[in-house]
Structure 1
Amino acid sequence: MNLSFSKLFFVLAFVFGLFAVMVIAKSVLIPLSMALLVSFILFPVVQKLEAWGVNRLLAAFLSLLMMFLILTGFLTLFSTQIMNFSDQIAGFTGKIMDTLSEVIVYINGNINFIEDLNREELIEEGISWLQASSGTLLQSTFSTTATLFTGIFTTIIFTFLILIYRDGLTKAFVSFGEVENQDRIFRMLQKIQRVGKQYLSGMFILILILGFANSIGLLLIGIDNPFLFGFLAALLSIVPFVGTTIGAVIPVLYAFMSSDSLWVPVAVVIWFWAIQVIESNFLNPKIVGSSLNVNALVAILSLLVGAAVWGVAGMILFLPFASILKVICEEFDQLKPIAMLISNDISGDEKKAAKNSMWIEKVKGWFK
């Protein structure tokens, strides 16, 4: 097999250039990517409204308004629990400092890092540090909130524009191909839209199921604000692998701080562990995994690369992007081996093995 260093150089240069652009222009690309996925799920709604005789501009506006009302309804539903939780957080400060001071004094008593460490002085120093850092924390919170609302507003604008200019955008992308391949490119775009819609609708269904399951368990255990913690953990499951763990840690810490019994946080841990096992092995593969068709290795790489490039937004977006990349690669003979690497279709039958053998030969010919 002959290795073409020129082709290898251009491939690596393209990959590094692509990631450089993604990092530099992330303030634009993140809301644009979010808007693209949101437009995928709102597209059928806009089509239905237009079939009823509604103007395209008005149809796009009404679909976005409907989504906004649904999100506002959820926030309003949990607003009371959010206020109760914020009030309780202030009361937990003293308990947190007491617990930390006892742990530090106990460790210091056995290892003796610092001579004559006093628990009351340690608590006073901790409170003084919290008061001194509160200004920086407030400034950081304000900056993060402003950035978040700016991103949401930009995403809404991009979504509206994509919905009203979708025909022109589709024709432009189709025109990049040769005349005999334009129908194939159009079908590829339809498949991409279908994958994005199935992923988002699947995630919505999964969040509802996990939210109610988590909330019912917390309600039975006796945790305050069960629906707030239950649906918060369900929302965090959007981030693959990491989100479910973080979503479970928050109610466990709350149970530890709000309850005098150790069995309450232990019961929360057991309940969330059982829910996570069911979600990982049954719910996610059936509801979301079937639409993505991405293997576990690519999913983990998407999570790590997305976190390195775009942070939390990348952890959410790069997994459906990997599935979209698979759809694109399946339409080009030279890129079909990449689609094989991404795909989760693993079968031992002879027909599949013969196809795999054929594409392995194509991989060998990449650098000839």
Structure 2
Amino acid sequence: MKSKNAYFIILAITTILFSMLLIDYLIPVFWAIIFSILFSPFYNWLNKRTERPSLSSLITIFVILLLVILPSILILGAITNEVFKIVSILESGGFEIRSSSIIPSIENAIKLIGLNIDDIYKQLNQFAYSLSQLTYTTLIRITENIFSFIVSSLIMVYLLFFFLKDGENIINNCISVFPMDDDHERYLLDQFHQVTKVTIKGTFIVAFAQGFLGFVILSILNIQGAILWGFLMALFSILPGIGTAIVWFPITIFLIYSGMWVQGLILLFSGLFIIGLVDNLLRPYLISKETSLPDYLVLLTTIGGISLFGISGFVIGPIIASLFISIWSLMKKINA
């Protein structure tokens, strides 16, 4: 009994110390696991033909870099260029709204309800400037932390090589040592795999569709910085229901108050019935239905995940929620 207690104490201490060693690199480890789950079908297909696990893993990583990393760098470069342009225009007052440009009837209506129209002009200009400045500052921070980003990316790629090649063995070893019934462990692992795939697939399909539509609509309306606003729509689309409106609605108000009411009304209609419709149609079908998570829980766990884990939280949040529900369902079956 004494030796058993000593064993558990040593196990607990070494586990805590090991976790402390890895705590700063949990996000690269997490994304290595995510990419290994997403691309394991391709790896398995390739490995059946080559019968060389190391080569298949390297080719899979190369494909991931080609499909994910390279386009991300190109898009980031284009967005950076747009941000510099917009910040420069805003600082020079190029987008400033003046009362002479507003539709008189709207101006009269605003005055009638007791609002100060000059304050509204200032707030709109300040919002546009703040949004661009925030994006600009974020890009600067990314550039300043480029060394940390490179190190994290290298760790992710290194781990991904082994997760692809030895993933099945790693899973079997974890199942063999974890103090739970093997069938229950397999069930939870299957849930983790399913939720991961569905969340990534659903989020990125919705983000791409909404961001691309936003970019196209703003380009047709000849709005400065369409690629930046489209990117921000894709980014904010992570928040179900309200995401893209954070970007397109202020632009709509800005256009109407600037006297470009036709463009403003077109953007309002497009935001509600085209961009918004994508979210309402695709997200429940791709995420909520497959994960058995209600829409409100997807929203809450996404926001909570982002606040705790940063941008990676849009995946981590729904995964934790789904595992939480799965574990309680499992407990109910066990105790039934």
Sequence identity of aligned pairs in percent?
17
Q: How many residues align structurally? A: 284
Q: Residue 144 and residue 249 in structure 1: after superposition, are their counterparts in 2 closer, same or farther (change >3 A)?
A: farther
- Encode CA deviations 1:11-41: one digit per residue, 9 max, x unaligned: xxxxxxxxxx999975322232232222211
2:164 is the alignment partner of 1:163: yes
2:236 equivalent in structure 1: 236
Q: Is the 8 A contact 1:240 1:316 kept in 2?
A: no
Structure 2 residue matching 1:331: 3-state secondary structure: helix
Q: Which amino acid aligns with 2:236?
A: L
Structure 2 residue matching 1:165: 3-state secondary structure: helix
Measured in 2, the distance between the counterparts of 1:161 and 1:147 equals 22
What is the TM-score when the length of structure 1 is the normalising length?
0.61
2:81 equivalent in structure 1: 83
Measured in 1, the distance between the counterparts of 2:223 and 2:303 equals 34
Tell me the CA shift for residue 293 of structure 1. 1.6
Structure 1 residue matching 2:293: 3-state secondary structure: coil
Query: How big is the alpha-carbon RMSD for the aligned residues of Structure 1 and Structure 2?
Result: 4.2
- Encode CA deviations 1:73-119: one digit per residue, 9 max, x unaligned: 3543674565355334313212179669xxxxxxxxx99xxxxxxxx
- Picking from 54, 62, 65, the partner of 1:57 is 54
Measured in 2, the distance between the counterparts of 1:223 and 1:28 equals 41
- Encode CA deviations 1:286-312: one digit per residue, 9 max, x unaligned: 122222221244334423532442234
Tell me the CA shift for residue 284 of structure 1. 0.7
Measured in 1, the distance between the counterparts of 2:150 and 2:166 equals 24
1:289 equivalent in structure 2: 288
Structure 1 residue matching 2:93: 3-state secondary structure: helix
Q: Is the 8 A contact 2:89 2:95 kept in 1?
A: no
Measured in 1, the distance between the counterparts of 2:297 and 2:210 equals 24
Measured in 2, the distance between the counterparts of 1:276 and 1:22 equals 43
Tell me the CA shift for residue 268 of structure 1. 2.8
Q: Is the 8 A contact 1:214 1:230 kept in 2?
A: yes
Measured in 2, the distance between the counterparts of 1:256 and 1:146 equals 44
The gaps in structure 2 that reach 5 residues or longer are 1-17, 99-114, 117-136
Q: Which amino acid aligns with 2:92?
A: G
Q: Which amino acid aligns with 1:46?
A: Y
- Picking from 25, 39, 43, the partner of 1:42 is 39
2:301 is the alignment partner of 1:302: yes
What is the TM-score when the length of structure 2 is the normalising length?
0.66
Q: Residue 84 and residue 190 in structure 1: after superposition, are their counterparts in 2 closer, same or farther (change >3 A)?
A: closer
Tell me the CA shift for residue 196 of structure 1. 1.6
The gaps in structure 1 that reach 5 residues or longer are 1-20, 101-109, 112-135, 337-361, 363-368
Q: Which amino acid aligns with 1:37?
A: I
Q: Residue 316 and residue 146 in structure 1: after superposition, are their counterparts in 2 closer, same or farther (change >3 A)?
A: farther
Q: Which amino acid aligns with 1:176?
A: V
2:177 equivalent in structure 1: 176
Measured in 2, the distance between the counterparts of 1:242 and 1:249 equals 10
Q: Is the 8 A contact 1:202 1:288 kept in 2?
A: yes
Q: Residue 274 and residue 306 in structure 1: after superposition, are their counterparts in 2 closer, same or farther (change >3 A)?
A: same
Q: Is the 8 A contact 2:202 2:287 kept in 1?
A: yes
